[in-house]
Amino acid sequence: MRYLVTGGSGFIGSHLCEKLIEQGHSVLALDDLSTGRYENVAHLENRPEFELRVASVTESRVVEHCVTECNAIFHLASAVGVKLVVEQPVKTIETIVGGTDVVLKAAARYRRPVLLTSTSEVYGKSEKIPFSEGDDCVMGPTTTRRWAYACAKALDEFLALAHWYQTRLPVVVARLFNTVGPRQTGQYGMVIPRFVSQGLRGEPITVFGDGTQSRCFGHVADIVGALTGLMGRPEACGQVYNIGNDEEITILQLAERIRLLTGGKSPIRMVPYGEAYTVGFEDMVRRVPDLRKIKALIGYCPTQTLDNILADVIAEQTQQGVVQGR
Please report how close the Cβ of residue 311 comes to ligand UDP at its closest, in angstroms: 18
- Do 256 and 195 form a contact (C-beta atoms < 8 A)? no
Q: Which amino acid is at 88?
A: Q
Distances (CA, A) of 236 to 111, 116, 137, 257: 16, 12, 21, 38
Q: Which of residues 63-122 bind ligand UDP (CB under 6 A)?
A: 82
Can residue 250 be called a binding residue for ligand UDP (CB under 6 A)? no
Annotated catalytic residue within 3, 110, 123, 149: 149
Closer residue to ligand UDP (CB): 51 or 290 = 290
Residues 126 and 237: their CA atoms lie apart, in Å, by 26
> For residue 279, with 0-12 CB atoms within 10 Å meaning exposed, 13-18 middle and 19 or more buried, which class applies?
exposed
Please count the residues of this chain forming the interface with ligand UDP, following the rule CB under 6 A. Answer: 13
Asked if 251 interacts with ligand UDP (CB under 6 A), we say: yes
CA angle 182–12–229, rounded 5-degree value: 115
CB 17 within 8 A of CB 38: no
Q: How far is the CB of 207 from ligand UDP (least distance, A)?
A: 5
The residue among 137 and 237 lying less far from ligand UDP, judged by its C-beta, is 137
Does 149 qualify as catalytic in the annotation? yes
Task: Sketch the per residue contact string, 212 through 241, with ligand UDP: x for CB under 6 A, - otherwise.
Answer: -x-x--------------------------
In whole angstroms, the minimum distance from the beta carbon of 191 to ligand UDP comes to 4
Handedness of CA 16, 69, 56, 153 (dihedral sign): negative
* Residues paired with 124 in a beta bridge: 138
- Number of alpha carbons in the 13 Å side-chain half-sphere of residue 10: 27
Q: How, if at all, do strands 114-119 and 72-75 pair?
A: parallel
What is d(CA 286, CA 120) in angstroms, rounded to the nearest whole number? 11
Whether the CB-CB separation of 72 and 107 falls below 8 Å is answered with no
CB of 209 to ligand UDP, least distance (A): 6
Q: Which is nearer to ligand UDP, 22 or 203 (CB)?
A: 203
Nearer to ligand UDP, 64 or 283 (CB): 283
Residue 34 engages ligand UDP in binding (rule: CB under 6 A): no
If the CB atoms of residues 221 and 252 are measured against ligand UDP, the closer one turns out to be: 252
Contact between residue 212 and residue 156 where contact means Cβ atoms under 8 Å apart: no
Q: How far is the CB of 273 from ligand UDP (least distance, A)?
A: 7
Residues in the chain: 326
String marking each residue 175-214 x if it binds ligand UDP according to CB under 6 A: ---x----------xxx--x-----------xxx----x-
Tell me which residues are annotated as active site: 149
Which positions lie near ligand UDP, rule CB under 6 A? Answer: 82, 178, 189-191, 194, 206-208, 213, 215, 251, 283
